[in-house]
């Protein structure tokens, strides 16, 4: 072979090699699908949240899917959360059809037919509720319906301690005093 033919052959081989390497740096369809698959799953599970060794909440769910790369856990098949105060006394119970836990902050988002019943007899109903682990408070920007032994109140935008003793509604739309 002539020197010129060898040079052309080397250029063609190099070009083909570079073209072949180009697709290796793009994520494959399989890796995109794998990102949507949970790293762990469990059924009929209990998760205990604690702070300094004291239980602050206990969550039960029919199905839990952990997504480590996304740093959250999906909860479904009806969830129940029992809340406790700083002395580890039970204060209230939350139920919902589904939810999500931030694996870093341990904050909870509850969705679909959310009901919180306090040990003092107050009941909160809404479609979405957030529990912030750091402050131990619950809140929602959505419509709420609250019934207590002394009143029935409705409105939009809500924040409370998890025992439903001290709550605020941003826009009250209905209020009635109930007979004891």
Per-residue confidence in pLDDT tens, the chain, 180 aa: 566 666 666 666 666 555 555 445 555 555 555 567 899 999 999 988 888 888 988 999 999 999 998 899 999 889 999 999 989 999 999 999 999 999 999 899 999 999 999 999 999 999 999 999 889 899 999 999 999 999 999 999 999 998 999 999 999 988 787 665
Residues in the chain: 180
What's the rounded Cα separation, in Å, for the pair 169 and 132?
17
Q: CB neighbours of 172 closer than 8 A, spacing ≥ 6?
A: 153, 154, 155
Structure tokens at 29: 């369809």
pTM: 0.76
Which of these, 81, 174, 84, 173, lies nearest to 129 by C-alpha position? 81
Report the pLDDT value the prediction gives residue 31, as an integer from 0 to 100. Answer: 54
How far from the centroid of its chain's Cα atoms is residue 20's Cα? Answer: 42
Work out the burial of residue 124: count CB atoms within 10 Å of its CB; fewer than 13 is exposed, 13-18 middle, 19 or more buried.
buried
Distance spanning both ends of the chain, measured CA to CA? 105
């Amino acid at each position: 072979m002539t020197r010129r033919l060898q040079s052309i052959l080397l250029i063609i081989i190099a070009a083909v090699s570079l073209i072949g390497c180009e697709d290796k740096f793009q994520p494959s369809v399989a890796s995109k699908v794998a990102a949507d698959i949970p790293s762990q799953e469990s059924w009929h599970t209990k998760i205990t949240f604690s702070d300094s060794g004291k239980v602050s909440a206990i969550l039960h769910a029919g199905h839990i899917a952990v997504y480590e790369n996304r740093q959250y856990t999906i909860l479904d098949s009806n969830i129940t959360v029992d809340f406790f105060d700083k002395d580890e006394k039970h204060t209230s119970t939350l139920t919902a059809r589904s939810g999500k836990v931030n694996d870093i902050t341990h904050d909870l988002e509850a969705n679909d037919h959310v009901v919180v019943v306090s040990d003092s007899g107050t009941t909160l109903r809404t479609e979405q509720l957030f529990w912030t682990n750091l402050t131990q408070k619950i809140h929602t920007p959505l419509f709420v319906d609250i019934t207590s032994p002394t009143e029935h109140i409705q409105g939009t935008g809500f924040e409370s301690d998890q025992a439903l003793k001290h709550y605020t509604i941003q826009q009250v739309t209905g209020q009635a005093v109930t007979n004891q």
